[in-house]
Structure 1
Amino acid sequence: MNKVCVVGARNVPDFIGGIETVCAKLYPELKNIAPEFAFTLFTRVKPKDKSEETFAGLRLKYIPTVDISGLENTLHTLFSIVYARLFIHPKIMHLHGIGPGFFAPLSRLFGFKTVVTHHAIDYERPKWRGFGRAFLVQGERNACRFAHRVVCVSQAIKEDLDVRFPKHAERYITIRNGGSLNFQEHIDSPDILQTYGLSRGKYILAVGRLEQTKAYHELIAAYQKIEHPNYKLVICGVGIHAEQYVKDLTANASENIIFVGFQHGVRLRTLYINTALFIHTSHMEGFCLVVSEALSAGVPIALTDIPPHREFRLPETCFFPAGDTQAIETILRQDDFSEYQSREAFEHQYQNTWLVCAEKHKELYHGL
């Protein structure tokens, strides 16, 4: 049995965050198609009982850390790698994110075949300054230099690494996240709509973590310029270590601007499938899972014009310049959003499943 250890997620399933979603979707699929691998996912949320020590055939190993932004993930990664060396002895160590990627040299020193998934250029987020930013910059460098393979979740990330770190370009591969939600047997949860006073097709939806790079403040500013809006604005997500930004953001809550917090499962699918328009105002992404989820729901979509968003094959009309609140306002004022739908984009996303993603990871692991 080939052992694989995975580091980077707080916990799975049903925890907010891109890496958490990827791990919750990818590894169960991978376990199903590659039973020759035994997976241990290191987590930093203490389990309440024995039932939380496994998930979909995966072992979840809790490793304590400190709940301090900037140190939480760093120390957890270090402790996890050391624990793996002492007690598990895996063949493959898979680190998710350029923060954990800082420890790629240690992983190799311990004799592990080392994979780092590059999810985003995290040090460009405004919250990172000084030592934290320098650590992430070095984490990206270490990943590119020392990892056996660097998995880029979008072609935009790979092309960026090819330019900035060309010496190790043969190690970089693109494996796009799956991101599709299954709507084939979906039945609406009336509870989520009733709770927040929503009607089918009468609201605009934004989904994602409440942080500055997602630019929800720009979305709200544009929406508030409309005196008599035809649609409510629903924002689905919570903040992590962004207390002041979240406080400032949620101060705008009103009858028409509704914050629904973190949602998942049938409640999240219900929000997607019944929205008049999904809008994403983010200034930076690696691979945007919420866009792929909205595409799988087949709803109209409007996005900022950034390279990762261009990979979803949406038509030109679906894009607007990042930071342009006037362009956002123009979109929000429309009565009919049908021009923001694309059958080609829907079909492209339909083919990009988590099973496809898992098959590519299986090939990668066997190659190592």
Structure 2
Amino acid sequence: MSKVCVVGARNVPDFIGGIETVCAKLYPELKNIVPEYDFTLFTRVKPKSKAEENFAGLKLKYIPTIDISGLETTFHTLLSILYARLFIHPKIMHLHGIGPAFFAPLSRLFGFKTVVTHHAVDYQRPKWGGVGRAFLVKGERNACRYSHRVICVSQAIKDDLDVRFARNAERYVTIRNGGSLDFHQHVDSPEIMHTFGLSRGKYILAVGRLEQTKAYHELISAYQRIEQPKYKLVICGVGIHAEQYVKDLTASASENIIFVGFQNGERLKTLYANTALFIHTSHMEGFCLVVSEALSAKVPIALTDIPPHREFKLPEACIFPVGDIEAIETILRQDDFSEYQSLEAFEHQCQNTWLVCAEKHKALYHGLV
């Protein structure tokens, strides 16, 4: 049996974060199609019971770390790789994110086939100081130089690596995240609609982690320019190590600006399925899971003009300039959002399932072992 260790997620399932969502969706699919693989996901959230040490056929191994932003992931990755070397002896070490990728040389030194998934150019996020940014820059370089394969979650990331780290370009491969939600058996949750005073088609939805690069402050500023808004604005998500930004955002909460916190499962699907418009004002992404989820719901969508958003094949009418509050306001003022729907984009997303993503990972793993 081939052993695979996975590092990068805080925990699975039902934990907010792109890497957490990817791991919760991808690895159960992989386990189903390659049952001969033994997966261990290293987590840094302590389980409350024995039942939380397994998930969908995967082993969850808790490794304690330091609860300090910027050091949490660093120490957890180092200890996880050391634990894997001493007690598990995997054939493949899969590191998610350019932070954990800092330790790609150590993983390779231990004899592991080392795979790094490059989720985003995280050092461009304004929350990082000089030391943190330098660490992430080095992590990206280590991924490209020392890993056996670098999985890019969007073609935009691969194109960037091909230019900046051309020497090892044969190691880079694009495997876009799945991101599709299954709405075939979905039944709306009346509880969430009632709790937040929402009605079908009477609100605009934004989903994602509450942090500065998502530019919720710009969305709220544009919305507040409208004296008598026809739609409520619903923001779904929480902040992680962004306390002041979240505090500033939630200070604008009102009858029409509603923060619903972290939602998942049928409650999240309900929010997607009943919105008049999904809008994403982000300044940077690697691959945007919430956009793919919204496409699964087949709702109107408006996005900032960044390369990963272009890969969803939405028409030009759905794209607006980054940071353009007036453009956002113009969109929010409209009575009808039908021009922001695209059958081609919906169909394109339907073909990009988590099973397809898992099959591509299977082929990559087999090529290594």
Q: The TM-score by the shorter chain falls in which range? A: over 0.9
Partner residue, 1:300? 300
Partner residue, 1:239? 239
1:341 aligns with 2:341: yes
1:4-23 to structure 2, matched below 5 A, reads 4-23=4-23
Q: 1-side partners of 2:70 and 2:185: how far apart?
A: 41
Q: 2-side partners of 1:12 and 1:193: how far apart?
A: 26
Q: 1-side partners of 2:36 and 2:323: how far apart?
A: 48
Secondary structure at 1:335 match in 2: coil
- Give the drift of 1:117: 0.1
Secondary structure at 2:35 match in 1: coil
1:76 aligns with 2:43: no
Q: What are the superposed Cα offsets for residues 241-275 of structure 1, whole Å, 9 maximum, x if unpaired?
A: 00000000000000000000000000000000000
Partner residue, 1:110? 110
Q: 2-side partners of 1:196 and 1:257: how far apart?
A: 10
Partner residue, 1:31? 31
C-alpha RMSD over aligned residues: 0.3
Q: 1-side partners of 2:156 and 2:34: how far apart?
A: 29
Q: 2-side partners of 1:183 and 1:118: how far apart?
A: 29
1:193-212 to structure 2, matched below 5 A, reads 193-212=193-212
Given residue 266 of structure 2, which amino acid in structure 1 is its aligned partner?
V
- Give the drift of 1:96: 0.0
Moved over 4 A (4+): none
Given residue 258 of structure 1, which amino acid in structure 2 is its aligned partner?
I
Partner residue, 2:288? 288
Secondary structure at 1:150 match in 2: strand
Secondary structure at 1:103 match in 2: helix
Secondary structure at 1:260 match in 2: strand
Q: 2-side partners of 1:130 and 1:222: how far apart?
A: 32
- Give the drift of 1:71: 0.2
- Give the drift of 1:25: 0.1
Given residue 291 of structure 1, which amino acid in structure 2 is its aligned partner?
V
Using the aligned pairs only, state the percent identity: 85
Q: What are the superposed Cα offsets for residues 36-57 of structure 1, whole Å, 9 maximum, x if unpaired?
A: 1100000000000001000000
1:55-204 to structure 2, matched below 5 A, reads 55-204=55-204
Partner residue, 1:53? 53
Secondary structure at 1:45 match in 2: coil
1:241-260 to structure 2, matched below 5 A, reads 241-260=241-260
Secondary structure at 2:99 match in 1: helix
Give unpaired runs (5+ residues) of structure 2: none
Partner residue, 2:261? 261
Q: 1-side partners of 2:298 and 2:17: how far apart?
A: 23
Given residue 35 of structure 1, which amino acid in structure 2 is its aligned partner?
P
Q: 2-side partners of 1:192 and 1:55: how far apart?
A: 27
Q: What are the superposed Cα offsets for residues 202-256 of structure 1, whole Å, 9 maximum, x if unpaired?
A: 0000000000000000000000000000000000000000000000000000000
Secondary structure at 1:61 match in 2: strand
- Give the drift of 1:188: 0.2
Secondary structure at 1:302 match in 2: strand
Secondary structure at 2:363 match in 1: helix
Q: 2-side partners of 1:119 and 1:229: how far apart?
A: 36
Q: What are the superposed Cα offsets for residues 149-190 of structure 1, whole Å, 9 maximum, x if unpaired?
A: 000000000000000000000000000000000000100000
Q: TM-score, normalised by structure 1?
A: 1.00
Q: TM-score, normalised by structure 2?
A: 1.00
1:319-338 to structure 2, matched below 5 A, reads 319-338=319-338
Task: Give aligned pairs, total.
Answer: 368
Partner residue, 1:3? 3
Secondary structure at 1:13 match in 2: coil
Give unpaired runs (5+ residues) of structure 1: none
Q: 2-side partners of 1:206 and 1:3: how far apart?
A: 39
Secondary structure at 2:248 match in 1: helix
- Give the drift of 1:130: 1.1
